[in-house]
Structure 1
Amino acid sequence: MKFINYLKSIDDVSIYPMVSLIIFSVFFLLAAWWAFRADRKMMDHISGLPLDDNDSLKKQ
């Protein structure tokens, strides 16, 4: 039996793609809004973290 036949047997299955699209869109818009509204100094600090040569990390 094909997978599509299982989906046809579920009542109101067409709502799930719409709900997932709405959740993704809201998350993307919130992330974009945060990125544009964030403080420039904080963004510079965050962008340098992967390259930061901190001595406290070497001790661990």
Structure 2
Amino acid sequence: MLKFVKHHMETIAGIEVFPLISLIIFFVFFLGLFIYVLRSNRKQIDEISRIPLNINDESDELL
């Protein structure tokens, strides 16, 4: 099976570009995510992180 896949991969023209493209997409995505996290509003993140811990009257009525 491995010989079959390896043979067909070698016959595809320009296949050596695909690993490089996927590596670039990977780094660009996580670099963008890292920049987004660094530039985000800390106060808003703290408020959102406390949402599961807030107990209000509306949630008590549902139980």
TM-score band, normalised by the shorter chain? 0.7 to 0.9
Structure 1 unpaired stretches of 5+: none
| Greater C-alpha Rg | 2
RMSD, aligned α-carbons: 2.1
Q: Distance in 2 between matches of 1:43 and 1:4?
A: 48
What SS class does the counterpart of residue 2 from structure 1 fall into? helix
Work out the percentage of aligned pairs sharing the same amino acid.
33
Amino acid at match of 2:33: A
1:44 pairs, out of 43, 46, 51, with 46
Amino acid at match of 2:9: L
Amino acid at match of 2:48: I
How does 1:1-60 map onto structure 2 within 5 Å? Answer: 1-49=3-51, 51-52=52-53, 53=55, 55=58
Q: Tell me the number of residue pairs that the alignment of Structure 1 and Structure 2 aligns.
A: 57
TM-score (norm 1): 0.74
Amino acid at match of 2:13: D
Structure 2 unpaired stretches of 5+: none
TM-score (norm 2): 0.71
Describe the superposition over 1:13-60 as per-residue Cα deviations: whole angstroms up to 9, x where unpaired: 0000000000110000000000011000121133234x255637x86x
